Amino acid sequence: MEPGGCEAGPAVKAVAAVLPAGGSGERLGGATPKQFCTVQGRPLVSYTVRAMERVSWISDIIVVVSPENIETMKSIIEKYGHKKVTVAEGGITRHRSIFNGLKLFSENEFSNHLLQKPEVVIIHDAVRPFVEEDILLKVVMAAKEHGAAGAIRPLVSTVIASAADGCLDHSLERAKYRASEMPQAFLFDIIYQAYQQCTDYDLDYGTECLHLALKYCKTNAKLVEGTADLWKVTYKRDLYAAESIIKDSLSQQICIITDVKEAVVQVGFLLHECLRSQIKVEAVSVSLSKGNSHLQNIFSGQCYNFVCINDKKYATEEIQQLVNMLEESNIPLLHPVVLISAHLNSLENTSFSIDLEELTRMKKFAREVKRKNILVYGLLVQCKEKRSPWRGQEQGNTAPRLANNRGIGT
């Protein structure tokens, strides 16, 4: 799908992203460059790549890393199953790295169009992992119209200039200025020409791509208000902040595993209400997991909470299968994995006593697996509807209410 290919805004033929990741992370300290520091067991750069590859209309992602980290980056791509990613060799400065990334799209005696040249190219620091499709679409559409665009944020501190003697010379009126953040986007030809023309001084000391577009292509970038989480991981504290945001996000991901298809929407509603009261999850994002992709969710650190929904009599089979898969996979469980078996009962097909036996069995099973950092809960959803509770809203049915849910945990 092309961005803006829907009703809003102009469509853009092809969009690619260049993620500069070739720095040494001096300000963060430590031997490992910050883009390769792990957060919840996963390299920071992998979160940014994932944020980009989730956007369907970004066709190619170029990650630019220093020569000594090329193999590391390739193994990260393989381990986390990243798609659409090409690794480029970085330069001694950020601008030189970005320029090297752009060269992969330009025809020359070596590459002769290795990759399709995009109409618009996004440039986004690999150490800014919290980037959403919304801001990416905004800067791409603005770049299509203006030639260049970049995310901005209000200044937190006032900007001052010091005199030669180290004393205050003057300060800027903070309200008139903004911090330049990422993502930025450019018509490819504009930013590529700017890099081709810029001086070594620009390449070695510049920090602003928007400035190059203005200076060499007379292009005034459109400035787009960005969200607070576009910040760049620069210091150690930023890594700790990233870790807590990622943990928080993981705790809110719920993967529903069910073959009771038409149930998902309604059960998602039910569980959202139920879970909010039971485990205080503010925003629940529900995704449907098919086949063995549950493991991939855990392995790629995308989800650690699973709800197995079924309306069969014996609920534990599915949970036991998932636990067995986890045990056989030897995946290091960095978080507790929460498995909720939601057992749906309409009044006709079974008496409450059978379910209690089932839940007692579940409880015993739950105690056994808790030692492996796997928390198993049983949820009994007694549906009051006489008819199949799974007919959609369009037939005038409201989602079946939780008549009597028993969250029986470990």
Ligand X SMILES: O=P(O)(O)OC[C@@H](O)[C@@H](O)[C@@H](O)CO
Ligand Y SMILES: Nc1ccn([C@@H]2O[C@H](COP(=O)(O)OP(=O)(O)OP(=O)(O)O)[C@@H](O)[C@H]2O)c(=O)n1
Name the minimum Å distance from CB 358 to ligand Y. 52
Among 46, 180, 289, 346, binds ligand X (CB under 6 A): 180
Q: Write out the two tokens for 65.
A: 């890393």
- Calculate the alpha carbon distances from 178 to 135, 152, 155, 162 in Å: 17, 6, 5, 20
Rounded to 5 degrees, what are φ and ψ at 261? -55, -65
Residue 202 engages ligand X in binding (rule: CB under 6 A) = no
- Dihedral angle, C-alpha 199, 204, 205, 208, nearest 10 °: 80
Write out the DSSP string of 215-257: HHH---PEEEEPPGGG----SHHHHHHHHHHHHHHHHTEEEEE
Residue 97 engages ligand Y in binding (rule: CB under 6 A) = yes
Return the one option of ligand X, ligand Y, none that residue 341 interacts with (CB less than 5 to 8 A, by type).
none
Residue 184 engages ligand Y in binding (rule: CB under 6 A) = no
Q: Which is nearer to ligand Y, 237 or 312 (CB)?
A: 237
Q: Write out the two tokens for 289.
A: 């997991």
Contacting ligand Y within 47-86 (CB under 6 A): 64
**3-class secondary structure, 270:** helix
Return the one option of ligand X, ligand Y, none that residue 208 interacts with (CB less than 5 to 8 A, by type).
ligand X
Question: Looking at residue 383, what DSSP letter applies?
Answer: E
Name the minimum Å distance from CB 50 to ligand X. 20
**Composition of the chain by helix, strand, coil, percent to 5:** 40, 20, 40
CB 29 within 8 A of CB 37: no
Name the minimum Å distance from CB 183 to ligand Y. 12
Q: Which is nearer to ligand Y, 179 or 402 (CB)?
A: 179
Q: Which is nearer to ligand Y, 232 or 401 (CB)?
A: 232
The stretch among 176-184, 247-255, 355-363, 393-401 that binds ligand X (CB under 6 A) is 176-184
Task: Say whether the peptide bond before residue 183 is cis (omega within 30 degrees of 0).
Answer: yes
**Residue closest to ligand Y, measured at CB:** 23
Residue 94 engages ligand X in binding (rule: CB under 6 A) = yes
The stretch among 57-65, 201-209, 261-269, 322-330 that binds ligand X (CB under 6 A) is 201-209
- Residues in contact with ligand Y by CB under 6 A are 20-27, 33, 35, 64, 90-94, 97, 125-127, 232, 234
